[in-house]
Amino acid sequence: MDRPVTAHRPPPGDRGQPGSPGAPAAPCSSVAQGAEGAQEAQKSREALRVAAEARRGGGARAGRLATGVLGPACTAAVAVFGLWYVPGGISPLDAVAFGLSLAWALAGAIAARNRERAPQWPVASGALVAAVALTAARLGSQGPAGQHEAARAVATLAAPLVIAISFHFLLALPDGRLGGRARRVAAGLGYVTALSTGLALALAHQPFTIAAGAPIWALAVSCALPALRLRYGRATGLATGRATGRASGLAPGRASDRASGRGRERMQWLGIGAVVAADVALIGAVLHLLVGWPGPVAAVAAGASLAVPLGLIAGDSSLLAPHGGRLLVHVLSTAGFSLVVAAVYVVIVLGLGRAPSSAADRQMLGLSMLAAAVAAVGYLPARDRLIASATRFVYGAREAPDEAVRTFGSRMTRAVAMDELLLQQAVGPSSSPNVSAPSSPGQGCREARGQLSGCRPCSTAVSRLSCGWRRSAMGASCSGSSWWSARRGHTRSPMRTTAC
C-alpha cells in the first residue's frame, strides 16, 4: 500500500525565526525600510537645494556689493584723480567723457539694487575701464614724449576694451545673461579682438584715437542690434501672452512674468535714451554745418549720449518704467520728424543754394529754422482745433453725418469683442425677447455661458435662450459680416464661418 505523502513541517522553534524555511515574509518591514530610504533621500535633496540657494545668495550679495558699491567708488576715485590731480587743462570732450563714466557708474549702482537680474556687471566694469582709459590718456599726454609710456600703453589697451564691454552689454540685455552659445562666442570674440588690437597698438607705440574708435564702436553696435531686437521681440511676446492669460484667468502671475516685463521696460527706456541721444547729435551736427553753432560739436554729441545711462536708470524705476512704451512711440515719431526736417534743410540750403558766409546770413538761417520748429510743434494741436471748428461751421455739429456710419463696422468688429457683446446681450433682460430677467445676480450670466457650448435645452425655467439665439451666440468669435448673419438666424451654421 502506498503511504500518504505528507508535507514537511519545520520544527516549532524554527517557524518564527527570520530566514528559516517556514518563516513568513515580512512585507511591512520592507515597505517601512523603503519609506525611510525615500525620506532620507528627500532630506538629502532638500539639504543640497538649501546649500545651493545659500551659495547663490552669497554670490548674488557679493556681486551686488562689487557692482553697486566697490565699482562705482573706484570709478569715482579714478575720475577725480584724472580731473583734478593731473596737471594741465582739460578739453570739453574729455570733461564730458569723465561725466559719462560717472553716469554709467551710477546706472550700474542702481541696477545692482534690483531684485531681478540686471546687466550691472557690464555697466560697472565698462564705467571703471572707461575712467581708467581717460585718466591714463590724460596722464600720458603730459610731459615729453619719452615719459609716461606706461600710461599711454594702459590707455591704448583700455580704449578698445570699452568697445568690447559695450558690445557685451548689448548682447546681454535685458537681464545681463548671454544665454545661447552664439552670444557667448560673439562676446568672447569681441574681447579677444579688442585685447589683440590694443596690445598690437601698444607694442607699436601707436595711440587708439577717437577717429578710429568711433566707426569701430558704431560697427559693434550695428552687429549687436539684430540680437537685441530678437531679445526685445521675445520679451514683448512673452509679456503680452502671459498678460492675456492672466486677464482671461488661464495663467496666474509669476515671478518670471514680472522679470520679463521688467526687462522689456528696461529695454524700452534704453531705446528712449539712444533715440534721444542720436536725435540731439543729429540736430547739433546739422546746426553746426549750417550756422556754425555749436562750436564743439563732438562734445555736444558725446554729451547727448548721457541720455542712455539716464534711460537705463529710469527703466529700473518702478514709477517711470511702466510708461516707457508710450514714450518710446512719441520719441520715435519726433526723431523721424527731426530727420526729415534736417534732410530738407541740408538738401535745399547746401544743395540748391549756398552755405551762409556771414554772421547775418547764419543768424537769419538760424531764426528760420527756429520758426520752422515752433510751427511743427504747434501744428498738431492747431490742426485738431481748426478741423473741429470747420466741421461745426459746415455741418452744425461736432461730427460729420457720415462719420458714425463710416466707423460703425470697424468699431463693432474690432473695438468691441464679439463674445463680450453677445454675452451682454444674452444676459440683459431687454436685449432679446427670448430672454427673461434672472432671479438672482449672476444667474443669467452663468446660464448664458452654459448655452454657448451647443443647442441644448435649458434645465432652469428662470432664464431660457432660444435655439436660434444660442446658434448665433456660438458665432461670437467670427468677424466681419458673418456674425451678423448668424445673429439674424440664417440657416447656414455659424460654425462654418471664419474665426478671428
Compute the C-alpha angle 327/332/333, nearest 5°.
100
Q: By three-state DSSP, how is residue 496 classified?
A: helix
The residues near 264 (Cβ < 8 Å, ≥ 6 apart) are: 174, 232, 235, 236, 239
Report the DSSP beta bridge partners of residue 478. 499
Query: Residue 237: what pLDDT?
Result: 66
Lowest-pLDDT choice from 10-19, 38-47, 213-222, 257-266:
10-19
Within 173-254, where are the H helices?
181-203, 210-248
d(CA 63, CA 262): 20
Compute the C-alpha angle 310/311/315, nearest 5°.
120
Query: Residue 295: what pLDDT?
Result: 83
Q: How far is CA 342 from the centre of its chain?
A: 30
Average pLDDT on 50-79 reads 79
Q: Which three cell numbers stand for residue 436?
A: 427673461
Residue-by-residue DSSP string for 297-337: HHHHHHHHTTHHHHHHHHHT-TTTGGGHHHHHHHHHHHHHH
The residues near 298 (Cβ < 8 Å, ≥ 6 apart) are: 93, 210
On average, the pLDDT of the chain sits at: 75
Q: Which three cell numbers stand for residue 46?
A: 532638500
d(CA 29, CA 32): 5
pLDDT higher at 245 or 60? 60
d(CA 29, CA 188): 58
pLDDT for 493 beyond 50 = no
Tell me how far apart the terminal alpha carbons of the chain are, to the nearest angstrom.
93
Average pLDDT on 303-308 reads 95
Q: Which three cell numbers stand for residue 370?
A: 527756429
Q: By three-state DSSP, how is residue 145 classified?
A: coil
pLDDT for 192 beyond 90 = yes
pLDDT for 301 beyond 60 = yes
Question: Which of left, alpha, beta for 179 (phi over 0: left; psi -120 to 50: alpha)?
Answer: left
Question: Sorting pLDDT into bands at 50, 70 and 90, what band is 377?
Answer: confident
Query: Residue 162: what pLDDT?
Result: 96
What is the per-residue pLDDT across 348-372, written as a single tens digit (0 to 9) for each?
888 877 778 888 888 888 888 888 8
User: Under a CB-based contact definition with an 8 Å cutoff, are residues 342 and 287 in contact?
Assistant: no
Q: Which three cell numbers stand for residue 162?
A: 570699452
Q: By three-state DSSP, how is residue 21 classified?
A: coil
Of the candidates 268, 263, 170, 156, the one whose C-alpha atom is nearest the C-alpha of residue 219 is 170
Question: Sorting pLDDT into bands at 50, 70 and 90, what band is 470?
Answer: very low
The residues near 171 (Cβ < 8 Å, ≥ 6 apart) are: 178, 183, 186, 187, 224, 227, 228
d(CA 478, CA 471): 12
Average pLDDT on 492-499 reads 40
pLDDT higher at 5 or 187? 187
pLDDT for 457 beyond 60 = no
Within 81-119, where are the H helices?
92-111
Question: Sorting pLDDT into bands at 50, 70 and 90, what band is 403?
Answer: confident
Query: What is the CB neighbour count within 10 angstroms for residue 87?
Result: 9
Handedness of CA 188, 194, 195, 200 (dihedral sign): positive
Query: What is the CB neighbour count within 10 angstroms for residue 420?
Result: 10
CA atoms within 13 A on the CB side of 496: 5
What is the per-residue pLDDT across 14-26, written as a single tens digit (0 to 9) for each?
444 444 444 444 4
Residue 293 dihedral angles phi and psi, to the nearest 5°: -135, 140
Provide, rounded to the nearest whole percent, the portion of the chain with pLDDT above 70: 64
Query: What is the CB neighbour count within 10 angstroms for residue 76?
Result: 17
Query: Residue 267: what pLDDT?
Result: 92
Lowest-pLDDT choice from 192-206, 246-260, 292-306, 396-410:
246-260
What is the per-residue pLDDT across 65-97, written as a single tens digit (0 to 9) for each?
888 899 999 999 999 999 888 877 888 999 999
Q: Which three cell numbers stand for residue 432?
A: 432679446
Query: Residue 433: what pLDDT?
Result: 42
Question: Sorting pLDDT into bands at 50, 70 and 90, what band is 335?
Answer: very high
pLDDT for 342 beyond 80 = yes
User: Under a CB-based contact definition with an 8 Å cutoff, are residues 266 and 173 in contact?
Assistant: yes
Q: Which three cell numbers stand for residue 154?
A: 594702459
Question: Sorting pLDDT into bands at 50, 70 and 90, what band is 63?
Answer: confident
Residue 478 dihedral angles phi and psi, to the nearest 5°: -85, 155
Give the burial class of 484: count Cβ atoms within 10 A of its Cβ; 0-12 exposed, 13-18 middle, 19 or more buried: middle
Residue 499 dihedral angles phi and psi, to the nearest 5°: -85, 165
d(CA 102, CA 64): 18
Global pTM exceeds 0.75: no
Query: Residue 419: what pLDDT?
Result: 62
pLDDT higher at 50 or 89? 89
pLDDT higher at 175 or 488? 175
What is the per-residue pLDDT across 103-136, written as a single tens digit (0 to 9) for each?
999 999 998 888 777 888 999 999 999 999 999 9
Q: Which three cell numbers stand for residue 473?
A: 451666440
Question: Sorting pLDDT into bands at 50, 70 and 90, what band is 472?
Answer: very low
Handedness of CA 323, 303, 111, 183 (dihedral sign): positive
d(CA 474, CA 486): 9
pLDDT for 409 beyond 80 = no
- 478: DSSP letter: B
